[in-house]
Amino acid sequence: MSLELDQATMQRLGHLVADHVARHLASLRDQPASRVLARADAERLVATPPPAAGQPVEALLETLTERVFPYHAREPHPGFLGYVQGCPTFPAILGDWLAAGYNFFAGAWGVSSGPTMLEVTVLEWFRQWLGLPGGTGGLLTSGGSTANLMAVIAARHAVAGDDPALLPRLTVYASDQAHSSLIRAAWIAGIPRANVRILPSDAEWRLQPALVEQAIAADRSAGLHPLMVLATAGTTNTGATDPLPELGRLARREGITLHVDGAYGGFAALSATGRTQLGDLSGVDSISLDPHKWLYVPFECGSLLVRDPKRLRAAFHILPDYLRDLDVAGGEVNFADYGEQLTRYNRALKVWMGVSAWGTDALAREIEGGIHRAELAAELVGRSPVLELLSPARLGITCFRPRRPGATPEELDALTQRALERINGTANFFISTTRLRGRQSLRICCCGWRTTDDDIARLIAEAEAAVQG
């Protein structure tokens, strides 16, 4: 039996899947924001031995609809305000389907010049949106974690190369608000764990240049070798942005690299308010940005831009005999030379489709809307007699908790946790928690474009009811 399907069958099955997804997306508001199964129940519903004989796709779709799809957190749901939600637009989803349908190999120009040029193009868009200097380049990645890792490896290679004496002496500097992926990137890149300096953030949750400077001086006098500052534009906890111009000047003075994790906040640069909150990004050496967050592209899609992309190529380029036919010179790019992946699928297609179908004006308006909704939430919390703001609204994120005068910190933490359970128990909303200076906090991330001002008002009312109930 051939695995080939005739054209009419492919079209029929493709339409079936497209109908299914369209129905799902159009009915999100009527669905619970999240449903989770315990492992034993999930096994009972889902786990099967691999079938020796095939089954019709229609039957498979039915199985998935009944047994698998209901049990997930619906990140594109208007009430999903937890973590950092993925809320892709439909044209961007279509871009992903096209990339899978054509199965482009996005590692080498010689087998994928058109799609590779699309990746060059969207990276150039990103560069322009962020105001980074000409010549900045990079690649699309699976997400922000990989982008951060590529950045640290490139910097490590540029400074330490293969010097076995230098590697154990490298140090990096981040705030206590840095995303865990930055810390893990340093670990994976071989920076000794004891040399990852986590410095206390200031009252605005930002890395303090003076503390970085002191730590660098202390490390140098201890015979260590400062490698890079790992700063953030839009922290996961509170949306704070580190003082990047000042850190840039410090990094240049010290002759070290400034990498910025803009995985969450970076695309806010498309909007006027976002640009103001991010400030000047032009002095960074590298920056991570996640299109699968605030550029409304489906998972997985991150990116890394590096002021001197030759650093990436120097760290990753390798040319085995069986790939010599594909080596390039001149302006052509093999993205496999710039990162850890050889076989890469074409993530640029979904970025290009999403951005081109809507245009940057519409996307900027949506980003502005996310920033506004977090500010609205902060305003409502500020007016509430039973809630307390723990961090100001920044880049779409607001943190708050119950206000209960006279309660001990432990009682407040327990009350916060109970409020979370009540809010998420409604199934209309899904929010998450974090800890801010040791205090349990409710946290909402408002960048999903389906969420309305009314949703925010209902959520805060729900939180007040949860605290009072």
Ligand X SMILES: Cc1ncc(COP(=O)(O)O)c(C=O)c1O
**Residues at the contact surface with ligand X, assessed by CB under 6 A:** 84, 143-145, 179, 181, 232, 236, 261, 263-264, 290, 302
DSSP annotation of 241 reads: B
Nearest distance from C-beta of residue 292 to ligand X, angstroms: 6
User: What dihedral angle (degrees, nearest 10) is formed by the CA atoms of 408, 409, 415, 420?
Assistant: 170
Nearest distance from C-beta of residue 34 to ligand X, angstroms: 17
Nearest distance from C-beta of residue 290 to ligand X, angstroms: 5
Which residue, 224 or 436, is less far from ligand X as judged by CB?
Answer: 436
The 397-402 sheet, strands edge to edge: 387-394, 397-402, 439-445, 432-436
Q: Which two tokens stand for residue 215?
A: 């730590």
* Burial readout 60-78 (b: 16 or more C-beta within 10 A, e: otherwise): ebeeeeeeeeeeebbbbbb
Q: Give me the sign of the Cα torsion angle 440, 260, 185, 254.
A: negative
Residue of 294, 373, 304 lying closest to 79 (CA atoms): 373
Residue 32 to residue 79: CA distance in whole angstroms: 9
Q: What DSSP string runs through 328-345? A: --TT---GGGGSS-SS--
Q: Which residue has the tokens 């800890």?
A: 435
Q: Which two tokens stand for residue 407?
A: 């309660």
Nearest distance from C-beta of residue 192 to ligand X, angstroms: 22
Residue 323 CB-density burial (10 A; 0-12 exposed, 13-18 middle, 19+ buried): middle
Q: Which two tokens stand for residue 174?
A: 């981040």
CB 328 within 8 A of CB 110: yes
Nearest distance from C-beta of residue 160 to ligand X, angstroms: 24
Nearest distance from C-beta of residue 145 to ligand X, angstroms: 3
Nearest distance from C-beta of residue 141 to ligand X, angstroms: 8
Output the CA–CA distances (angstroms, integers) from residue 224 to 172, 178, 312, 418, in the order listed. Answer: 11, 22, 24, 47
Which residue, 34 or 334, is less far from ligand X as judged by CB?
Answer: 34
Nearest distance from C-beta of residue 422 to ligand X, angstroms: 25
Which residue, 169 or 443, is less far from ligand X as judged by CB?
Answer: 443
Which residue, 395 or 420, is less far from ligand X as judged by CB?
Answer: 395
Nearest distance from C-beta of residue 209 to ligand X, angstroms: 19
Which residue, 295 or 412, is less far from ligand X as judged by CB?
Answer: 295
Residue 374 to residue 274: CA distance in whole angstroms: 12
Residue 242: φ, ψ to 5°: -65, 160
How crowded is the C-beta side of 377, counted as CA atoms within 13 Å?
A: 36
Which residue, 182 or 312, is less far from ligand X as judged by CB?
Answer: 182
Nearest distance from C-beta of residue 144 to ligand X, angstroms: 3
Residue 45 to residue 37: CA distance in whole angstroms: 10
Which residue, 287 or 315, is less far from ligand X as judged by CB?
Answer: 287
